[in-house]
Structure 1
Amino acid sequence: MSFSRAIKIAPSILAADFANFGAECRAVEDQGADWIHVDVMDGHFVTNITFGPATCAAIRPHVRGVMDVHLMIAPVDPYIEGFAKAGADIITAHMEAGPHVHRTLQAIRATGAKAGLALNPGTGLDGVENLLDLLDLVCVMTVNPGFGGQAFIDMSDKVRRLRALIGPRPIHIEIDGGMTPDTAPLMARAGADVLVAGSAVFKGGSVVDPTPYGTNIRAIRTAAEAATGTVV
């Protein structure tokens, strides 16, 4: 998985047809998705319950590109190996999920997966600097985690400060929550390069008629790239 700061669109399968995950993954990739984002929720760290390693393993053969697994669970460490074995390319844990995040990131890296760190809207950047050498991705939440379809919370200032903190390091800045053609430019301009979108990608389409997926993906990408003034 080579590093690039080009805008990447990562549809969240939380908004897909649960009965057709394999076909949905193939459809959004065919329509231009760069990554597939899997939101894992445990009913403890967040109130919703979604997927486990078995679901990731089941969809892995249908994902040609990057499987980006976002663990909204606590504790995290006992489940890292399971998600890595299920085929996760990136495993992201929350800063707020446990007291030993440095150890968690080490454990993710030890499996061969890329390591991500997610920050809730109410979490600042204190402590992130000490973790940069273990990070491949920082996920800035622009909604409170737990459910799809929430209203966007503008984290532009946090993203700008994070981008400056990262400097030239090959670390992605991912945005998760409320991404649309209207909100994506704010985040791209601030320095984000991975945009997670659920309902904004899957609305209006289906595995039978996936064309709207492509229209939606292009709209988000075009708006984000226009905001940066360049296409990397």
Structure 2
Amino acid sequence: MKKIICPSMMCANFDSLKEEVAKLDMAGIDIFHIDIMDGIFVPNFGMGLQDIQCIRKNTEKLIDVHLMIENPGNYIDLFAKLGVDIIYIHPEADKHPARTIEKIKAASKAAGIAINPGTSVETIEELLPMIDYLMAMTVNPGFAGQKYLNFVDNKIKKLVRLKKDYGFKVMVDGAISSEKINELSKLGVDGFILGTSSLFGKNEDYKTIIERLKK
């Protein structure tokens, strides 16, 4: 099964974002992952609109935005117009997540939901027929450099079983090491958001790392 590799651009070198995009693109990544935070849903602030514009201008690869913000339905048109391809929302942050997912689809974008470590599958199961991607957070969202929460593995196993019925792709985000990629891909996980645990800040070039991870 082909692994979908998604660099978390929050961890990139912002002294030369354009060059980072080019290096990652040439290295064979699949989706550029952009974290958007509002300081309310999570206690941090993420990337900005200008960062999305820069990445979009310099790659033809898919771009996703992970909206860690309250009331994401108010901002779907804004992000769609910036040229992203996939929009993730947190159902925990939206009073009417089904309506917001419909809004994403109406904008001709792929719809994803992201769920926190403490969010059960049962609370979002009704949304599964509507989505293209489901991203299981394996750390509490908001900050890079956290430890992987092993108890989420049971939830991931449930999601892999459910994807056979609904057709969405299962993604994971948070402290994803090369060992975790190997372990979770065997369970049936499709895609991996990569930060400092396996991609950024290493002594090897991106191409070498990504070729090894895809194997």
TM-based fold match above 0.5: yes
Task: Confirm whether residue 21 of structure 1 aligns to residue 44 of structure 2.
Answer: no
Q: 1:213 aligns with which of 203, 206, 211?
A: 206
Match of 1:68 in 2: 64
Deviations 1:14-54 (A, max 9, x none): 11012322221111111121111111111111111122333
Q: Is the 8 A contact 2:30 2:61 kept in 1?
A: yes
Q: CA deviation at 1:168?
A: 4.7
Task: Confirm whether residue 127 of structure 1 aligns to residue 123 of structure 2.
Answer: yes
Task: Confirm whether residue 104 of structure 1 aligns to residue 100 of structure 2.
Answer: yes
Q: CA deviation at 1:78?
A: 1.4
Amino acid at match of 1:151: K
Which SS does the other structure have where 1:203 is aligned?
coil
Which SS does the other structure have where 1:126 is aligned?
helix
Gaps of 5+ in 2: none
Q: 1:162 to 1:66 in 2, by over 3 A?
A: same
Q: How many residues in Structure 1 have an aligned counterpart in Structure 2?
A: 213
Match of 1:177 in 2: 174
Q: Is the 8 A contact 1:180 1:220 kept in 2?
A: no
Gaps of 5+ in 1: 206-210, 223-232
Deviations 1:104-162 (A, max 9, x none): 11111111110000010011101333112210000000110001111111222211111
Query: 2:17 & 2:137 partners in 1: Cα distance?
Result: 24
Q: Is the 8 A contact 2:169 2:190 kept in 1?
A: yes
Deviations 1:200-226 (A, max 9, x none): 212236xxxxx621222233222xxxx
Which SS does the other structure have where 1:157 is aligned?
helix
Q: TM-score, normalised by structure 2?
A: 0.93
Q: Is the 8 A contact 1:54 1:86 kept in 2?
A: no
Q: Is the 8 A contact 2:163 2:169 kept in 1?
A: no
Query: 1:169 & 1:63 partners in 2: Cα distance?
Result: 30
Aligned CA RMSD, in angstroms, stands at: 1.5
Match of 1:191 in 2: 188
Query: 1:6 & 1:170 partners in 2: Cα distance?
Result: 16
Amino acid at match of 2:67: L
Which SS does the other structure have where 2:119 is aligned?
coil
